[in-house]
Amino acid sequence: MSELAVILGLSGPKLTAAERVFFRDANPWGFILFSRNIESPEQVSRLTSDIKEAVGRECLIFVDQEGGRVQRLRAPHWRKFPSGAAFQHLYAKENWMGKRAAYLSYRLIADDLRAVGITANCAPVLDLPQKSADPIISDRAFGVKPQPIIDIAHAAMAGMMCGGVAPVIKHIPGHGRATVDSHKELPRISASRKTLEKTDFIPFRALSDAPMAMTAHAVYECNSRSAVTVSKKSMTELVRAAIGFNGLVMTDDLDMKALKGGLTRKTERALAAGCDVALQCSGKLPAMVEVAKGAKALEGRAKRRSVVAEYCADHVTPFDRIAAEHEFDALLSEVPYLKPTAPRLAG
């Protein structure tokens, strides 16, 4: 049975009987966890194992674990990681410091995730923030110029892939100019195509070999009247052609208010536009049923891209966690606004 071209959330820390049946029958390609699904390492390990048992196969299980404001696995069981701004600060002091700290941060994150059965992370952020933009990106960014973002993001992606966790670059083709939060309303970006080519698109073009990317729910007025996620013109001309991204494209959460209409129609529009997989995060079963109604089997180029993404979570390189934490903490001590963070507790 082919996988359904969707990534779905779950309602809580345990798989319900109804979810087991639905996931078995619908066979989503992947799943995503949020804070509501996470209590302890033992509990998360049971949950990810139960998910895989429900669909009868190994599958990618995603999370948003950037550090800073966006961190689902938290204390007391997991250490606190800094936001992207910390790596930007270190990079400004010495380029190698920013890159090394990012690598170590995401290698440690990968170690945490892989230990509990999570095999994909919605990171790194490649958005280039502007002063007039909504603060939804702000300190999550790795820089305010393309080159630091590119260098730090390459290091972050390497850290994850060395730890057997598949990365997802976001938010393609760039969310840094959005003056509103797409969780609440639809951003409209008025910059010219020429300006975007010289700024926002550059980090995404430099990391166009990433296995997966998440869309920005935003309108790029130079190209289309519709959000990229549901615009075939923007997906074709901006994401695939201008940026040259040929990996798997997943939507940002279809529950976000930037996109209007019902979930079935949103799913249909996103997949018709050229997204490979639709993401829906609420964990509410009726909503998941609506998404499944609008979805299709993962096949053709989308299927091939999904296989490549899965391969990126297949290999783990040897890793000395204690040594890595000591080195990481020494680098973070160079960031004056950060408090020292203790290693995560055992178990």
Concerning whether 139 is annotated as a catalytic residue, the answer is: no
CA within 13 Å, CB half, 41: 15
* Cβ partners under 8 Å of residue 112, min gap 6: 65, 73, 78, 79, 344
Concerning whether 217 is annotated as a catalytic residue, the answer is: no
Out of 50, 139, 181, 183, the active site residue is: 183
Out of 64, 111, 134, 252, the active site residue is: 252
User: Do residues 118 and 165 touch, judged by C-beta distance below 8 A?
Assistant: yes
User: Do residues 25 and 49 touch, judged by C-beta distance below 8 A?
Assistant: no
Catalytic residue annotation:
183, 252
